[in-house]
Structure 1
Amino acid sequence: MIEKKEPTVWQGFKAFLMRGNVVDLAVAVVIGAAFTNIVNAVVRGLINPLVGAIGTKNLDHYSSCLKAPCVVNADGSVRSGVPIMWGSVAGATLSFLITAAVVYFLMVLPMAKYLARQEARKKAREGTQEVIDVTELEVLKEIRDTLVAQRSAGRDVR
């Protein structure tokens, strides 16, 4: 009786790494990390100055005091009171929305349009191929019928 040899840990790990999902995920993480620099530059270079025209250039400075008096040291530690740092939440939310918008409009939407065009071309090609196949089938049937008719006519003459 032949026993099945179980794959080694190395073979299992290699198979895991060779799956398409792992490679796709790794590429997405690397691209996402590189893309973060672009988004941060947009926030620092465009969004923060626009916000700075209204108030402070750094959203982290916006806060409210839940329990007065609020005194925050320069290093960010709270000396007294209970400050609500809603500006940092707004900044993070704004960064997320900008990132999502840029990813959607510059990556997802164009890729979806591209894939839709490819699918339409594929369907058009399949439709044309189907017409060709049907036409070829009809021609072959006609040839078969003609040959059958010729054989029948040859037998009747003899």
Structure 2
Amino acid sequence: MLKEFKEFIARGNVIDLAVGIIIGAAFTAIVNSLVTDLINPIIGLLTGGTDFSGHYFVLKGDVPDGASLQTARDSGASVFAYGAFLSAIINFLIIAWAVFLLVKAVNRIQRSVSQKREAEQQAAPAGPSQEELLVQIRDELRASRA
């Protein structure tokens, strides 16, 4: 069983997946910071200086007026945190846009590399075919025997 586990882990797919998950986690932290620290303040500025992610309303329970979302949650009240949900949507859209740009760039690079390879192959002078080389070898062997 241990041997099978080692073979499983040694496969390229598993290692690629692990690297993807680690990079994804780091990327998520960057995007969360981008949304929380840069985009939400701009949206707040455009909407009159309010913190967008802290918007909520109380469904059930007692929460003092003007309490933060965290305070409302800590009090045990049932809150409808639409601002946090909208922030999550913004996070998703930013991540999706960044992944789109990344895939687009990788595709452009791959196209460029494949076009360069094709150009090099077309520019290379065509050498003799395999049959022509074999005929030359045969003729040289005949000539050396004679």
Given the alignment of the two structures, is residue 75 of structure 1 paired with residue 72 of structure 2, yes or no? yes
Once the two structures are overlaid, the 10-residue window that deviates more, 113-122 or 14-23, is 113-122
Code of the aligned partner of 1:27: V
Matching residue of 2:27: 35
Alpha carbon RMSD of aligned pairs, Å? Answer: 3.2
Code of the aligned partner of 2:35: V
Aligned length: 127
Richer in strand (by share): 1
Q: Which runs of 5+ in 2 are unaligned?
A: 65-70, 140-146
Code of the aligned partner of 1:33: A
Identity across the alignment (%): 32
Match of 1:136, SS?
A: coil
In 1, the alpha carbon distance for the partners of 2:130 and 2:28 equals: 60
Code of the aligned partner of 1:60: G
Q: Which runs of 5+ in 1 are unaligned?
A: 1-8, 148-158
TM-score by length of 1: 0.64
Code of the aligned partner of 1:113: R
Contact 1:60 1:91 in 2 (8 A): no
Matching residue of 1:61: 55
- Between the two structures, name the one with larger relative contact order (CA 8 Å, sep ≥ 6): 2
**Deviation (angstroms), 1:138:** 9.6
Given the alignment of the two structures, is residue 92 of structure 1 paired with residue 84 of structure 2, yes or no? no
**Deviation (angstroms), 1:50:** 1.2
TM-score by length of 2: 0.68
Query: Which entry has the higher C-alpha Rg, 1 or 2?
Result: 1
